[in-house]
């Protein structure tokens, strides 16, 4: 194995190696919005085919609060504080944690 972690059972049979399905967090960052905007975060090697971007609210929030929207691009994770493809004008404010996970 060129890199990574491998585990073997008592008989010496690999249980986890470079051919196993794994995933890892490649970016974890707090995103804060005030006005209506889209922020982008560099995540080299991540694409829509091998990664996912999610946001998790920090602390409690009320019935009127809105979730940020994420989109995974090629090497970039986008976070918007409004629904970009919706005609309405609902904008979220505050902070949420962005987590980008890459699958292997």
Considering the entire predicted model, what is its pTM?
Answer: 0.75
The position carrying tokens 């986008």 is: 78
* Contact by Cβ (8 Å): 66, 92: yes
Question: For residue 78, what are its two tokens?
Answer: 């986008």
What is the C-alpha separation between 10 and 94, in angstroms, rounded?
50
Local confidence band at 45 (pLDDT 50, 70, 90 cut-offs): very high
What is the C-alpha separation between 1 and 44, in angstroms, rounded?
22
Percent of the chain surpassing pLDDT 90: 46
Local confidence band at 54 (pLDDT 50, 70, 90 cut-offs): very high
Q: Where are the domains of the chain?
A: 22-103
pLDDT given at position 83 = 81
Q: Which residue has the higher pLDDT, 34 or 51?
A: 51
Q: For residue 55, which of 79, 39, 88, 73 has the smallest C-alpha distance? A: 79
């Amino acid at each position: 194995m060129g890199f990574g972690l491998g585990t073997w059972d008592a008989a010496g049979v690999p249980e986890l190696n470079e051919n196993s399905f794994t995933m890892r967090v490649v970016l974890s960052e707090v995103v804060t919005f005030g006005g209506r905007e889209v922020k982008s975060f560099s995540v080299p090697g991540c694409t829509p085919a091998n990664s996912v971007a999610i946001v998790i609210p920090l602390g409690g929030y009320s019935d009127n609060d809105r979730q940020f929207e994420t989109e995974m691009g090629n090497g970039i994770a986008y976070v918007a504080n409004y629904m970009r493809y919706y005609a309405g004008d609902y904008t979220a404010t505050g902070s949420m944690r962005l987590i980008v996970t890459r699958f292997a």
